[in-house]
Amino acid sequence: MEILGSIKTYDWGTRGSQSKVAQLASKNDENFAKEFNETTPYAELWMGDHVSGPSLIKSTGESISKLIASDNSSIGGATSLPFLFKVLSITKPLSIQVHPNKEQAEQLHATRPDLYKDPNHKPEITIALTDFLALCGFRTPAELYNQLKKYQALTNLIGADTIEELQKQPTSESIKVCYTKLMSSPQDAIVKCISDLSVIFNENKEDELLTNVFKHCNHYFPNDIGVLSIFFMNIIQMKPGQAIFLAANVPHAYLSGDCIECMACSDNVIRAGLTPKFKDVETLLEMLDFTGKTAEEKFFQSLPVGPYSELFKPPVKDFAVVQVKVPDTVQNYCIENRANGSIIIVLKGNASAAYLGRQLFELKEGSIVFVPACIKSVGLTFNHPDAEGFIAYQALYNDF
C-alpha cells in the first residue's frame, strides 16, 4: 500500500525547493504541496512506524502503527518495524555524535531516561543521493600525528609530548589521550586555537577540502569544540550511490548533501560538538571507539542481488537496504520482498506495480510503498520518461 512519510523541519535542513525531502514529498502528498514554504528547512522524511513520526496510509490517512498493531502478520509477527527509513537534506552540519551499543543503551536508559529515551542501539547506514560530506571515525595515528604537528595552534592545545606518543605508540589508546585532551580543554583555549587556525585557513589554500570544511563548520558553529574534531576524524567525500556504515560508538557527523539513511529504531545520541545541545563528555569518552582507519576504509560496499539490484548488508539484523537501478532499456523487473515486509521509495522514473498479475498502482518519483510480508515480490512495468531509468531504495529486515 502507498504511504506518506513524516516530514521533519530541523534547523540544519535544506530550505524550500532545494531540499530533496521537499522535492519528493511535494510529488507524493497534495497536503504537503499546499503547505510548502520556500523558507522552511525540510530536513528529514521518515518512513516507518517510529512513535515520533509514523507514516500514514495514503488512501485512508490511518497510521501505519495502527495497521501493524491490528495485524502484525504484515511484518511477520513482530511487534513493530525493526528499522526507521529516511531521506535527509543537509545544509548545516549535524552534531558530531555517537550511538551506544545495545547493552550500553539499556544501561543508559535505565539510569538516565531523561537523556536516553529508549533501550535500543542505533546503528545506521548512509547512502549518498548527491555529493555528500561527512565525518566518520578517527584518522589513523600517523594521519592524526601529521595533522596535529602541521598546525602550531593544535600542537599548543594538545601538547607536543602528547602528540609525540602517536608516533611512538601508534595505537587507539594514543588517539584516546589526544582526543580526551581536546574534549577537556577550557573554552578560552578552544576559542584561541580556532582563531589562530582561522588566520591560516583564510590565507592558505593548500588543503582545499580541509579549508572548506573548517570554514563550513565554523560558520555555522563559531568557536564550537566540534570545529576542531575535523582534524581528528576522517572527512568523507561521497558520490551518489556510495555508502558508509556507522556502527556503535563510531563518531560521525553529516556536513552537507542529500542521502538515504536507514537505522535501528532508536533515538539515543551522545553528542560531542557542532551543537548547542548538551554534550555528555564523560559518557562520550567512555564509549567512543578510538580505532583509527583511513577514509577509504570507511566506505561500505554493496553486494549484487539481482541484475539491477545492490544490497547494503550491515553486520546487524535490524535492517538492510537494497538499491534498485533499472536502465531505461528494460521494460519489466521484479522487486523481491522479505519475510518481515519492507518499505520502498522511488527516486526516479515511473512504473506500474502489480502482484500476481493484479495491477496495484502507479509508482512515480516520491512514491513510498509499504509491502506487507504476505507479498513475495512486486512486479514493475516501466514507462521511462527519464534517461536515468528507474531508481528506488528498499529498506527491509536483514535476514539475507
Give the rounded percent of residues in the chain with a pLDDT score beyond 70. Answer: 99
CATH topology of domain 308-396: Jelly Rolls (2.60.120)
User: Which of these, 374, 369, 372, 391, lies nearest to 382 by C-alpha position?
Assistant: 391
Please provide the DSSP assignment of 105-173 as one string: HHHHHHH-TTTS--S----EEEEESSSEEEEEEEPPHHHHHHHHHH-HHHHHHH-HHHHHHHHHS-SHH
Residue 386 has pLDDT above 70, yes or no: no
Q: What is the residue extent of each domain of the chain?
A: 3-136+237-298, 145-220, 308-396
pLDDT at 93: 97
271 is catalytic: yes
Quote the CA–CA distance of 280 and 186 in Å, as a whole number: 15
Q: Matching CATH topology for 3-136+237-298 and 308-396?
A: yes
Cell matching residue 232: 581528528
pLDDT category at 10 given cuts 50, 70, 90 is very high
Work out the average pLDDT over 289-315.
96
Work out the average pLDDT over 361-383.
92
pLDDT category at 387 given cuts 50, 70, 90 is low
pLDDT at 168: 96
Among residues 112, 139, 271, 358, the one annotated as catalytic is 271
First CA to last CA distance, the chain: 24
Q: What is the CATH number of domain 3-136+237-298?
A: 2.60.120.10
Question: What's the pLDDT tens digit per position in 236-277?
Answer: 999 999 999 999 899 999 999 999 999 998 777 888 899 988
pLDDT at 13: 98
- Spell 128-144 as b/e; 16+ CB within 10 A means b: bbeebbbbbbbbbbebb
Question: What's the pLDDT tens digit per position in 130-169?
Answer: 999 999 999 999 999 999 999 999 999 999 999 999 999 9
Q: What is the mean pLDDT of the chain?
A: 93
